[in-house]
Structure 1
Amino acid sequence: MSDSNTTDFINPSTFILLGIPGLEAAYVWISIPFCAMYIIAILGNFTILFIVKIEPSLHEPMYYFLCMLAITDLVLSTSILPKMLSIFWFNSREIDFSACLTQMYFIHCFTVMESGILVAMALDRYVAICDPLRHSTILTKLVVANISLAVVLRGGMLVLPLLFLARQWPYCRTNIIPHSYCEHMAVVKLSCADIRVSSYYSHFVAFLVTGLDVFFITMSYTQILRAIFSLPTKDARLKTFQTCVSHLCVILVSYIPPLFSFLTHQYGHNVPQHLHILIGNMYLLGPPMLNPVIYGVSTKQIRERLLWLFTHKRT
C-alpha cells in the first residue's frame, strides 16, 4: 500500500494551480479586466483575419505575416485565460498532468513563434523600403510560405525538449503550482530531481530566441532608418516612416513587458509574488489584445474596410 501511495505521489495525475496567491479576495475584480482583454483579443484578431481575407489589396506578405500573428495571439491567449477564469470564478484549480504540460508547451511554443513572426515582418519592411522595386520578386508567395514554415518549426522544435524533460522528472515534493498557469519553471521546480538541464536549456532558448530576434530586428531597422533619412524631402521621409509605425509599436508591446518581467525576477527580490504573477499574465495577454488595435488604427486599408463593414458603403 505504501509503495502504491509513493508511486502516485511521484507521478501525480493532477496539479493544483493556486492562481494569484495573496489576492484570492479580489479574484472577481481581477477577472473583469482579464476577461475584457480576452474578449478584445478574440474580436480584434478575428476581425483582422476576416478583413485581410476579404480585402484583395491586403493580400501582401506583410498582411500574411499579420494573419500569422493574429492566429498566434488567439492560440496564446486561449491557452491560458479560460483556465485562469475558471480559477477566479469557480475555484476550479485542478489541471490534469498531461493538460498542464500541453498548456506549458503551447504557451512557450507560440511565444517563440510570435517573436519569429516579428522578425519576418521586419524583413518585409526592410525589403519594402530598402529595395521596393524587387519587393514582389524577393518575397514571393513561396518565400513567404517557407519563412512561415520556418517560424512554426523553430517554435515547435525548440520548445519540444522542455516538454520531454518536464515529463520525465519525478514529482515528489508537492503538486501545487503557485501560479495561474503552467509556466515551465514553476512546474519543474516541483520535481525532486536535479532539474539543472531543464533550467539551462530554458535559459538557452530564451536568450537564443530573444537575442537573435532582437539583433535581426535591430539590424533591419538600422538599414530602414538609413534609407528613410536618405530620402530627399521631409514628407517622403514621414510617409515612409509611417509604414513602419504599427510594426514598431507591436515590437515594443511584445518585448518590453517580458524584459520588465525578467528584470523583476532577477533583481526585484523584494517584489511580492503576486506582482510577479500579474506581470507574467500581462505580458502574455497584453500583446494579443493590443496588436489588432494597433494595426486597426494605424493601417489605412484595415481602418477603411472596417468602417465599410459597419456602414455598408465604401468611404
Structure 2
Amino acid sequence: MSNSIREIGENIKNSQNFRGRVSFDEPLCNHTTMKVGGPAALFLEPADTLSAAEAFLKCFEAGVRVFVLGGGSNIVASDDGFCGAVISTKLMNSVTDEDFVLCCGAGAKIDSVLEYCAQRGIGGLETFAGLPATCGGAAYMNARCYSVDFSELIDRVEYIDLNELSQNSGANVECCVKMYHNTGNGKEWDYKLSPFMGKRTVITRVYLSGKKKDCSEIKAECEKYILDRTQKGHFRAPSAGSVFRNNREFGSPSGVLVDEAGLKGVSVGGAQIAPWHGNFIINTGKATAFDIKSLVELAEQKVFERTGFRMVPEIIFL
C-alpha cells in the first residue's frame, strides 16, 4: 500500500463530514459470498449518505479508483486485491417504514428487511426471502426471484450523482444527492436491468412499497421460499449466486445449457461447477479468483461450441 493511499484514508477518517470506518489492506475474501479476493488498499464504510458522498469526493480529488461493494453476493474479487478504494454500504443498513412504504439503507440485507416486515405485518417482499443481497444491490441488478422483479416493489431510490459530485469539488455534497421516482416505465427496468446501470450513480436508499399482511402469513411464506432455496442447494457451499444470465432466446435456462454440455461437477483448482446446478460455481475450500474465471470461460466456450449461444456472465469480476 502506498503512502498516498494511507494519507487519503486518514484524510477521510479525520474529515468532519465523514462518519464510519476506515481500514487498510482489508481482505476482500471476508466481504464476498464466494470467499475469494486479496486486499483492498483502502476500505471505507460510510455510515450515511453524506458520509458516502464525502468519501467519493475525497477519492475523486486524489485520483483514486473506487469500487462500490454491497453484500458481495455477485462479486469475484481478484486474488491480487484492489489497488484503489472500496466503498462498502455495510453500515448504511437502517430500515424504517411509513404507511407501508419501507425506507431501506442501501446496505440493508434483504433478510433483515423481511424480518422487519414480518414483525410489523408488511407484505410483498416474501419471494426474496433467502436472497443473499442488499437492497442497494437488488435495486441496481433488478434482482428477480420466483418471477417477481425487485423493481415491482420500488417506489423511489435515493442516489448520489457522481458526475455532479466530481464536477463540484469543494461544493456542498448535499446538492449531489438525488431522488429517482419509479413511474413504472417498462423501458427503464427489465430482467437484470435498471436505470442505474452504465451511469455514474451510487444508490444510497431504496423505498419499497409494501402492503398490510398477517405476520404469521409473511413468516410462513418466507420459510417456504428459504426451504426451496435450501433444497436447490443455494446454501451448500460458498458461491456468487447465478453465474450466467438467462436468455429466453436460447430456449433453456443457462444452468440447463451448462448441464447439457456435460460440465456439472467439473472443477478447476478449488472451484467447481456445482454437481446439483449448472449455473452455480462453488468454492470447495481453496478456490482462487483465477480458478473461478477459468471455469466461467470454459462454460462459455463449451456452450458456444455446442449451441452457438454466447452466455453472458452475471457475476462481476473485480
TM-score norm. by structure 1 comes to: 0.23
Decide which structure has greater helix share.
1
Greater gyration radius: 1
TM-score norm. by structure 2 comes to: 0.23
Decide which structure has greater strand share.
2
Identify which of structures 1 and 2 has the higher relative contact order when contacts are C-alpha pairs closer than 8 Å and 6+ apart. 1
